[in-house]
């Protein structure tokens, strides 16, 4: 029997989120049923709710920073028990056969992973609905263990903002002796600062918001640069090993490339709706590299969660009831979030109990 579920959905681009009743599949042998406790609000939710990437499927229930409790496990699922705290991130399945899946890099599945929402299951027909909902059914292979000791709302954003910054900082070797820049102090950026500082790098935040300086330093940054004033960047030319660009809107990428020293790398993780214009001189001038990175694999996401558990790293969050989600989107777009909204799903369950 399909499982009746309440969520919040957008029915078309530009429409607000509103209550939406739908069903989850009943448990398959490998599935776990998760009672959702908290779900983070990622800027990707806003991009997709508003069809800014041009690939939106409606109705859409966003949400891919899910923390919940296992309430039931399928007949041959063995990884989790009832009552355990678990997480679900940006994808809930992948082809499991392509080269990248076989190498344990599911986030780069050549056939496209199955996104937690705004996509289809591997049957290509069944739409996926995300974490702004009371419960979710997921193959246990794509479910993470949440280490004890972390606050549950503070752990939710690790499932996307956390791994999306952890993975490139690890891959490109952020650490002692390295100068690392983090551009944009939002949900991703604030996690990037925490990780880069914890790996021992010298961290500079590049921000359009002068009011965030004190927070940046508290999060672990050593320097803070306001990017709106171009004269602030000139003295920093040719001095960074690695720059993590988390900005969600179109911006001048050449000004950032020029900050890289010889062989430095700019990793773009932000996904603005318009293409970048790269000045042909920016890269060759110092053999610089422009790279990209997409979330992280199953293995690396669990590694990141365990690292956070051991080091006590979690996101700075503002917990909201789901009834405030439309207002939260507007506030996120105005740059008012410090630094991630997280929905308390008790507020949604209260609606269904009425």
The binding site for ligand NAP (CB under 6 A) comprises: 42-44, 47, 160-161, 164, 184-189, 207-209, 212, 246-249, 251, 269-272, 294-295, 332, 335, 337
* Strand ranges inside 95-153, DSSP E: 114-115, 135-139, 144-145
Residue with tokens 């508290």: 218
Q: In Å, how far are 66, 85, 89, 99 from 298, measured between CA atoms?
A: 15, 17, 9, 15
Which partner, Zn ion, ligand NAP, none, binds residue 251 by CB below 5 to 8 Å per kind? ligand NAP
Closest distance of CB 290 from ligand NAP, Å = 14
Token couple for 268: 């773009």
Identify which of residues 85 and 301 has a Cβ nearer to ligand NAP in the complex: 301
In whole angstroms, what is the distance from residue 86 CA to residue 50 CA? Answer: 29
Backbone angle region of 176, left / alpha / beta, with phi > 0 → left and psi within -120 to 50 → alpha: beta
Closest distance of CB 61 from Zn ion, Å = 14
42 lies in the binding site for Zn ion (CB under 5 A)? yes
Any idea what the Cα angle at residue 56 is, between residues 54 and 60, rounded to 5°? Answer: 160
Identify which of residues 80 and 195 has a Cβ nearer to ligand NAP in the complex: 195
Please tell me the total number of residues recorded for the chain in this structure: 354
Q: In Å, how far are 215, 241, 244 from 192, measured between CA atoms?
A: 13, 15, 8
Token couple for 37: 């406790």
94 lies in the binding site for Zn ion (CB under 5 A)? yes
Identify which of residues 49 and 247 has a Cβ nearer to ligand NAP in the complex: 247
Inter-residue contact 321 to 344 (CB < 8 Å): yes
87: phi then psi, degrees, rounded to nearest 5:
-130, 155
Which partner, Zn ion, ligand NAP, none, binds residue 95 by CB below 5 to 8 Å per kind? Zn ion
109 lies in the binding site for Zn ion (CB under 5 A)? yes
Closest distance of CB 82 from ligand NAP, Å = 31
Q: Report the greatest alpha carbon distance in the chain.
A: 64
Which partner, ligand NAP, Zn ion, none, binds residue 186 by CB below 5 to 8 Å per kind? ligand NAP
Which partner, ligand NAP, Zn ion, none, binds residue 98 by CB below 5 to 8 Å per kind? Zn ion
Identify which of residues 159 and 201 has a Cβ nearer to Zn ion in the complex: 159
Identify which of residues 146 and 269 has a Cβ nearer to ligand NAP in the complex: 269
Closest distance of CB 103 from ligand NAP, Å = 18
Any idea what the Cα angle at residue 142 is, between residues 141 and 144, rounded to 5°? Answer: 100
Which partner, ligand NAP, Zn ion, none, binds residue 185 by CB below 5 to 8 Å per kind? ligand NAP
Find the binder of Zn ion among 3, 13, 98, 237 (CB under 5 A): 98
Find the binder of Zn ion among 34, 49, 152, 160 (CB under 5 A): 160
Query: How many residues in the shown chain lie near Zn ion by CB under 5 A?
Result: 8
Closest distance of CB 128 from ligand NAP, Å = 17
Residues contacting 45, CB < 8 A, separation 6+:
62, 63, 64, 130, 329
Closest distance of CB 98 from Zn ion, Å = 3
95 lies in the binding site for Zn ion (CB under 5 A)? yes
Which partner, Zn ion, ligand NAP, none, binds residue 187 by CB below 5 to 8 Å per kind? ligand NAP
The number of C-alpha atoms within 13 Å of 182 and in the hemisphere containing its C-beta is: 34
Burial class (CB in 10 A: 0-12, 13-18, 19+), 254: middle
Pick the piece of the chain touching Zn ion (CB under 5 A) from 121-129, 130-138, 160-168, 204-212. 160-168
Residues that bind Zn ion (CB under 5 A): 42, 44, 94-95, 98, 101, 109, 160
């Amino acid at each position: 029997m399909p499982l009746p579920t309440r969520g919040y959905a957008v029915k078309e681009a530009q429409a607000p989120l509103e209550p939406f009743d739908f069903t989850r599949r009943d448990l398959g042998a490998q599935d776990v049923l998760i009672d959702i406790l908290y779900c983070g609000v990622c800027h990707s939710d806003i991009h997709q709710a508003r069809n800014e990437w041009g690939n939106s499927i409606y109705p859409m229930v966003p949400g891919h920073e899910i923390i919940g409790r296992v309430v039931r496990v399928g007949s041959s699922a063995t990884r989790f028990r009832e009552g355990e705290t678990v997480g679900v991130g940006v994808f809930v399945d992948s082809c499991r056969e392509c080269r990248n899946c076989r190498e344990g890099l599911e986030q780069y599945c050549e056939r496209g992973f199955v996104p937690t929402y705004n996509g289809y299951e591997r049957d290509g027909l069944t739409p996926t609905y995300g974490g702004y909902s009371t419960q979710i059914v997921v193959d246990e292979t794509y479910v993470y263990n949440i280490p004890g000791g972390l606050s549950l709302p503070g752990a939710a954003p690790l499932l996307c903002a956390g791994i999306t910054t952890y993975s490139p900082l690890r891959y490109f070797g952020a650490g002692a002796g390295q100068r690392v820049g983090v551009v944009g102090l939002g949900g991703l950026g604030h996690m990037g600062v925490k990780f880069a500082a914890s790996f021992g790098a010298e961290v500079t935040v590049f921000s359009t918001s002068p009011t965030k300086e004190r927070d940046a330093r508290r999060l672990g940054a050593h320097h803070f640069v306001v990017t709106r004033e171009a004269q602030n960047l000139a003295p920093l030319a040719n001095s960074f090993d690695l720059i993590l660009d988390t900005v969600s809107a179109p911006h001048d990428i050449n000004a950032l490339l020029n900050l890289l020293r010889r062989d430095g790398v700019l990793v773009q993780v932000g996904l603005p709706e318009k293409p970048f214009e790269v000045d042909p001189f920016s890269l060759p001038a110092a053999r610089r590299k422009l790279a990209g990175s997409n979330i992280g694999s199953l293995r690396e996401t669990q590694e990141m969660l365990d690292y956070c558990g051991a080091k006590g790293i979690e996101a700075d969050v503002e917990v909201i009831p789901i009834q405030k989600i439309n207002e939260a989107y507007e506030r996120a777009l105005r740059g008012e979030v410090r630094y991630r909204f997280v929905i308390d799903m008790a507020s949604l369950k209260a609606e269904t109990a009425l």
